[in-house]
Amino acid sequence: MQKLEQLYEGKAKKVYKTDDPELLIVDYKDDATAFNGIKKGTIVGKGVINNQMSNFLMQKLEKEGVPTHFVEELSERETLVKKVEIVPLEVIIRNIAAGSFSKNYGVPEGEKFASPTLEFSYKNDDLGDPLINSYHVLAIRLATKEELDTITKYAFKVNEVLSAFWAECGITLVDFKIEFGRLSDGTIVLADEISPDTCRLWDSKTGEKLDKDRFRRDLGGVEDAYAEVMRRLREHN
Ligand code: ADP
Ligand code: UDP
C-alpha cells in the first residue's frame, strides 16, 4: 500500500492518504504533549509501542464484537486503517477516580467507583476539549441519538474487555479515552489509538503508574513504564 500525501500531522501521529480513498496510513511519533499542548517532550520508542499495543488491543476488541478501524500493521510505526469521519468527542470511561475527575469533584485519586462512569469531551483544541453532555451533543449535531447509543454501548464493552485483559497482566485499568468515527456508509467504528498515552494503567500490586502521567507529572522512568506495559502485554498474548 503506497503512502501518498500527508493529510494531517497531530500531536502524536501523522496521517497519510493512500491510493485507496477508503484507507489511510497512520504513522506514530515519539512526540508527547500534555495540558492541551503546553508541555512538550519526547518519549523515546513510544511510537513503536503505541502502534503495536493499539493494534493488538483493537484486534482483541474486534473478536469481542467491537468494530474498529484497524486493517493491517505495515511497520513498527505504521498501520493501515479504514478512513473515518471522526465523531468530535473524547469518550472517557473511568473505573477509579484520578486526574480531572479527582480535581473537579474532590474525590481522592485511587477511590474505586461503585460502577464505571462515562463522560464526553468536545474534541476541540481551541476550546480546550470542554466536558459536554449528551443533550449538548444532540443539540449541536455532533452525533445522532442512535450514534450516541452505539458509542456508549461499545465504550462500556471496551472497558469490560480491556479491564479483564489488563488484570491478567497485573495491571489495573483506571480510566481511558477513546474516539469513534463513521465509515463512508455511516457505520460507527472505534478509531484513533489505545495506548499508555490514552489510558491510566496502574500496577495492580504496587499502584505504580505505568502511563503518560509519568510524563505529565514529571515522575521520571517514562520510557521504562511504557516498555514494562508492552512487556506484560507480550507475555499474555
Ligand atoms: P491530535 O489530533 O489530538 O493531535 P493525533 O496526533 O493522534 O491527535 O492525530 C491523529 C488524528 O487522526 C486525530 O485527530 C484522530 O482523531 C484522527 N484519526 C484517528 N483515526 C482515524 C481514522 N481511522 N480516520 C481518520 N482520522 C483518524
Ligand atoms: N485523555 C486522553 N486525551 C485527552 C484527555 C484525556 O487520552 O486529551 C485520557 C487520559 O490519559 C486518561 C483519561 O483520558 O486516561 C481521563 O483523563 P482526565 O479527564 O482525568 O484528564 P487529565 O487528568 O489527563 O487532564
pLDDT in tens, 69-124: 999 999 999 999 999 999 999 999 999 999 999 999 999 999 999 999 999 999 99
| In the predicted structure, residue 236 carries a pLDDT above the cut 90 | yes
Mean pLDDT in residue range 48-67: 98
3-class SS at 226? Answer: helix
Answer for the pair 87, 121: CB distance below 8 angstroms, yes or no.
Answer: no
**86 close to ligand 1 (CB < 6 Angstrom):** yes
Give the mutation target among 192, 193, 195, 197 for probing the ligand 1 site: most ligand atoms within 8 A of CB. 192
Mean pLDDT in residue range 144-150: 98
Assigned C-alpha cell, 23: 484507507
3-class SS at 181? Answer: strand
For residue 13, the ligand 1 atom closest to its alpha carbon is 6
For residue 82, the ligand 1 atom closest to its alpha carbon is 23
* Ranges of H-type helices in the chain: 46-63, 99-105, 134-139, 145-168, 213-216, 222-235
For residue 85, the ligand 1 atom closest to its alpha carbon is 25
Domains of the chain: residue spans and CATH: 3-82 (3.30.200.20), 85-221 (3.30.470.20)
Distances (CA, A) of 7 to 3, 74, 86, 107, 184: 11, 18, 14, 41, 17
* Identity of residue 200: R
| Ligand positioned closest to the Cα atom of 80 | 1
**191 close to ligand 1 (CB < 6 Angstrom):** yes
**11 close to ligand 1 (CB < 6 Angstrom):** yes
Mean pLDDT in residue range 142-171: 98
This prediction has a pTM of 0.98
| In the predicted structure, residue 1 carries a pLDDT above the cut 90 | no
